[in-house]
Amino acid sequence: MKSKAYDSESQSVDRNVIAELRDVSKSFGDVLAASDLNLSIGEGEFLSFLGPSGCGKTTVLRILAGFEVPTKGEVLLDGEVVNGLDAYNRPVNMVFQQYALFPHMTVTQNIGYGLRQRRPRLSKTQIVKKVTKALDVVQLGGFENRRIWEMSGGQQQRVALARAIINEPKLLLLDEPMAALDRKLRKEMQIELQNLQRQLGITFVLVTHDQEEALSMSDRICIMREGHIVQVGSPQELYDRPKSRYVADFVGTSNFFSGKITNLTENLVSVLLENGMSMQGILGGELTVGQDVCISIRPEQMRLHRQGDGLTVKVLNRIFLGEHTEYLVTHGTLGDFLVLSPRQSELNDVPFNRGDEGLVSWDSSIALILENN
Amino acid sequence: MTQQARNWLLLAPAGTLFLVMLIIPLTVVLIFSFGERAPSGGVVPAFTFEQYANLPARWTAFKNTMTLAPVGTLSALIIAYPLAYFLAVKVDSKWKTILLVMVIVPFWTSILIRSYAWIFLLGGRGIPMVLDWIGIEGVRLINTPFAVLMGIIYGYLPLMVFPIFVSLDRLDKQLLEASSDLGAKPWRTFLQVTLPLSIPGIATGCMLVFILLMGEYLIPALLGGGKVFFVGNALVDLFLQSRNWAYGSAVAVALIVVMLITITFYMRLIGRLGTSRDDVSIM
């Protein structure tokens, strides 16, 4: 399991900084693709940029690679400003979304490409040795003389990976590398990538729109929205302590109830919901009385039961998910929301069916009050 | 109708055309080439190698064709490649179409008219006169191999530009980024990625231009003025002027044989480039 502590509180990194963005902005014509980005990337870290398409995450990756020059701000690599440094002079390598393998070369030639560009030249034996080792790392021994178009998507991805890591880059950039793989292969590759990253100690920077992928592989995730960094943190931090509705919604699933803060006290804060109900929760950020907020409660933090205290709800739908059962329930004032019930409690009790009435309850100390954006 | 019958039906129009316009005439030419000249012109059936034995008499036409066709092809390639590269890689997409159309525009006018323009340009009152003014006297351009070469390059450039443009335009630009990302400077990216991947376009363009040049008639006739003539001009002369069909047929067969041999070698060369790109990429 992960040995690293989840203590990397948001922006700060407890490692040597290998790369840094300082007030980096990039605009294409009138479109601002990245706006005032500040971020430190630690040596040996697995960092993911997560966000929907068009949020600027790929732009950040291309800025790090040297394909785009920032309009404003500084990019630092190993302590040096590299803004004007061409891609071919940067100790950074990229795994492209469509792999971008050279179709006129064999697997070996593709993987050795970076080594052949080195000056002073490496000897042929050195190149062969390194290529063989890289093939071994990505488990493609025996495929040396294959042509690219003779390989499957998964194999092509390994070639792309080997071609990038053979140069021992300071940063390995991965642009949605799993997007073209089927689900099962994707899972396998996720585990493999993680192992590879630990084994090689290379800093990985991944761009993805798949929250599951980001959550399962990363040490830290940087959530982006419309060119801005919204929140940076470990997967657990982002899941447990999102700072805005956007993050809570993007990382995992949550039920949101909008309203205004009526009363700020030490512990629990009262919120008057739009529908007139009053709810209590804890602050998920710096918020003031009267501010538009929402209360976020994860479906698995709610309990659906038949006896005791709770809100009376009606079950609208039931989806069996194996270890969990997901219920879509409706409440007279709150409307529809999701409740996730673990298999165990289902076994102990009679399961709910569509149309059944039940009681939903939760602990007010887990109800997060977030900025409503 | 069975699948097979339908396939034959699809082939029928082109097949008939090929048979009537190509196979039958070629056979006739082959038969004629073994015949003798009739006293009144035309041909008398016979079986003699006399016409073939006489081929060296037309050596100059073959020599001109066999030098100016490859030199013209190569010159067109050297001029067309940078242009195609510029159009495919460097030009903004909204300008691309306009510039491409400009490459085709000359085709809207007949090559005959355009060659007459060249006659004027290269003739005594064209470029030589301008050179005269600036002190370079006695330059003769029209009716020289240079004039024919100019005409060839001018006339065939678009045919060379297009296939190369297509292969460069289709080139995945991300491959260029990948090359740069892996440490290749721009010119090395060109040599190791762009150039090898545009070989199919180069091969097609060269083949197209070369084959057409081997049979060229008009440009040498107009700009070579009877001094620089191709096999095509010799054929016109033999068939229409001296009405020696038998000898003309032998010259035609010889041209076809030369062409087949050249193209076979050419295909081999391209094939080898295709498989031994290892050497290209290992540079």
Q: How far is B89 from chain A (nearest CA, A)?
A: 16
pLDDT 10s digits, B92-117 = 888 999 999 998 888 888 888 888 89
- Looking only at the bridges linking them, the beta strands covering A17-28 and A72-77 are antiparallel
Place of tokens 């070469």: B149
Predicted model pTM: 0.83
Architecture of the domain made up of A17-240: 3-Layer(aba) Sandwich (3.40)
Q: Which residues of B touch A89 (CB under 8 A)?
A: 183
For residue A28, give both structure tokens.
């294409």
Closest residue on chain A to B197 (Cα): A104
Residue ranges in chain A assigned as alpha helix (H)? 57-65, 107-111, 113-116, 124-137, 153-165, 183-200, 211-217, 235-240, 245-250, 343-348
Which residues on chain A place their C-beta less than 8 Å from a C-beta of chain B? 65-67, 86-89, 92-94, 96, 98, 100-106, 109, 113-114, 116-118, 163-164, 167
- Is it true that A17-240 and A253-371 share their CATH fold? no
Q: Sort strands A171-175 and A46-50 into parallel, antiparallel or unpaired.
A: unpaired
B175 neighbourhood in chain A, CB within 8 Å: 100, 102-103
Could you give the domains of chain B?
51-282 (1.10.3720.10)
Which of A225-229, A349-353, B57-61, B133-137 shows the lowest per-residue confidence on average (mean pLDDT)?
Answer: A349-353
CB contact under 8 A, B182 and A92: no
What is the CB neighbour count within 10 angstroms for residue A266? 5
- Name residue A25's beta-bridge partners: A72
Q: Which residue in B has a C-alpha nearest to residue A98's C-alpha? A: B174
Answer whether A163 sits within 8 Å of B196, measured CB to CB. Answer: no
Q: Is the CB of residue A114 less than 8 Å from the CB of residue A167?
A: yes
User: For residue A64, how far is the Cα from the chain centroid?
Assistant: 18
Q: What is the pLDDT of residues A324-360, one digit of tens each?
A: 899 999 998 899 999 999 887 777 777 888 999 999 9
Q: Is the pLDDT of residue A3 over 80?
A: no
Nearest Cβ partner for B184 among A67, A88, A101: A88
Q: Quote ipTM for the complex.
A: 0.85
Right CATH for A253-371 from 3.40.50.720, 3.20.20.30, 3.40.710.10, 2.40.50.100: 2.40.50.100
Enumerate the domain spans of chain A. 17-240, 253-371
Q: Name the token pair of A198.
A: 């630990």
Facing residue for A117 by CB, picked from B172, B183, B197: B183
pLDDT per residue as tens digits for the range A166-181: 999 999 999 998 888 8
Q: Is the pLDDT of residue A263 over 90?
A: no
A113/B282 CB distance under 8 A: no
